[in-house]
Amino acid sequence: MLKLNVKNETSRLRKVILGIAESNGPIPKIEEGYDPKSIAHIKAGTYPKEEDLIKELNAVEAVFKKYDVTVLRPEIIKDCNQLFSRDIAFVIENIMIEANILPHREKEVHAIDYIWDQVAVDKRIILPEACHIEGGDVMPWNDYIFMGTYTGKDYPDIITARTNKQAVNAIQAVFPNKKVKAFELKKSNTIPEENALHLDCCFNPLGKGKAIIHKQGFLIEEEYQWLINFFGQENVFEITKEEMSAMYCNVFSISEDVVISEINFKRLNTWLRKQGFIVEEVPYAEIAKQGGLLRCTTMPLLRD
């Protein structure tokens, strides 16, 4: 049986699922894009090439190997975008939960069936169909589970709204001893700088009590303020809407003091080093064109 343990975002990583880009499929039609960033690059003719995506993922795999992290990959599905392994499932404590993602992406979930089948049956959960949820909206943080959500009446029309209230309630029911704290996120189908696709696009907790945050990613100022109070203003790196769209929040912690970040995030990476972090820089700008970055392409299975 596969051992699972994820209590937070920063404990020493031992095993992870990393997305793949082989057989990534043709450039989608505009109407097939499901986030404003991808759509903008489809329109501009700058949609990323498969070989560039493969190189970027390989760079992250090399960092994981440097830190002795076991890397698992989804099985390749022909002509299918499988970059974002965080969307399809997530682990909290020793339980693996299958995500209920956009209907036309369901086959991505089956690409990790061989991993799912190694998890003890009583540690596998599939939420009811009415619970829409993706792993980018779910952050275990010790006694808390932070969740991004959207509860506006126009939810059915917002393609960027991925986690609903039913899912928040379901996660609280599965983990009655945790405090589930949900945050209403700002959504836009058309403007990347106005769209927090997932919670990890506008907020990310780091080691050493630090965090990255974008105020305008939150619909309700009090919820943003709760996070500022929780971490302390002096521990928080605030980013602009352009930086949010570039995915500054979406870095990935290997441990309390090691962070993988994008090589072009100069302002952030300088700050991280000043806080005492080891920053492993990788090129990830092509993956960023699809509205996700390092946390989106990784799904931790085991942390110390």
Average pLDDT in the chain: 93
pLDDT of residue 90: 96
Token pair 């499901």: residue = 34
pLDDT digits (tens, 9 = 90+) for 218-241: 999 999 999 999 999 999 999 999
Q: 142: number of CA atoms within 13 Å, CB side? A: 6
pLDDT digits (tens, 9 = 90+) for 265-281: 999 999 999 999 999 99
Alpha carbon distance 76, 93 (integer Å): 28
Asked if the model's pLDDT at residue 104 lies above 70, the reply is no
pLDDT of residue 87: 87
pLDDT digits (tens, 9 = 90+) for 152-188: 888 888 878 889 999 999 999 999 999 999 999 998 8
Average pLDDT, stretch 84-103? Answer: 89
pLDDT of residue 85: 94
More confident residue, 48 or 235: 235
Asked if the model's pLDDT at residue 212 lies above 80, the reply is yes
Of the pLDDT bands very low, low, confident and very high (cuts 50, 70, 90), residue 107 is: confident
User: Which range has the worst mean pLDDT, 52-56, 83-87, 163-167, 192-196?
Assistant: 192-196
- In this structure, which amino acid lies at residue 97? I
Find out whether 76 and 82 touch, Cβ atoms under 8 Å: yes
Average pLDDT, stretch 86-105? Answer: 87
The DSSP line for 240-270 is -HHHHHTTTT--EESSSSEEEEETT-HHHHH
Alpha carbon distance 42, 29 (integer Å): 7
Alpha carbon distance 99, 85 (integer Å): 10
Asked if the model's pLDDT at residue 27 lies above 90, the reply is no
Asked if the model's pLDDT at residue 199 lies above 70, the reply is yes
Q: What percent of the chain has pLDDT over 90?
A: 75
